[in-house]
Structure 1
């Protein structure tokens, strides 16, 4: 049974806790209003998207070797029946790996980019000419001017050089 004497200490404790939370939460602010923060984020996204480099201004996909898929999935922004190639077995003690891309409809040609994200989050991009009727290949890290292979998961994003539009996502794992 609650009495006046038990309610008073509870009220004091609750008020004290609320006061403590309010003073500590507001004591060290960043000095920016919500409107200023929103504008800073929007400006940053606009600046990165204006570079026309693949993948900027958009959430990045990451290769998941267990399912041989990317998360989030990359839906082709360029028409075609796209197929990509990367090692399907864990790469062991290899100096380089072969990567490939083809439009199985044999309708697309032109310049494409392959951007590889290494296990530490560093990226390297190489350019290749896509032939309409054969596989286009690149060798990582040789064609990318990138560091030697390290243990971990690598993500490969293929994109159209003219528009910067994503084509597909692939990857491989090094042990």
Structure 2
């Protein structure tokens, strides 16, 4: 995961958290105000007393909305931090895995180069010589049988001793 992808993931998580928090806050504020106004309008009270109750309820709703906004902001920041930490951890694991893969491929390449040098050394077949390869192929087919025969002969020799 590239640094740019990490940043995009963080920003996307923050944006989603902000949208859901904003929607929740708006819903809570509208619900609180609507409930307070309904309760006050349906309660039988004098004008001055009703205005005082509306002011008190509006003040209380504002305080609760502020508290809710602070709590939501704190939780959103914590969630964004956790998303960032997870993205960093995953990025590190991907980087480590890629490094191990590069090391394995480099080792395999070196091994293949060594084998090619060994095959090209004096006394070995020229792997670029198609005729030599075609002559060696039937012999390689007979190799397992020859090994098996040699093992049987060795077993028979040990048994007779």
**TM-score w.r.t. length of structure 1:** 0.24
Report the structure number with the largest CA radius of gyration: 2
Which has a greater percent of helix? 2
Which has a greater percent of strand? 1
Structure possessing the higher relative contact order (Cα contacts under 8 Å, 6 or more residues apart): 2
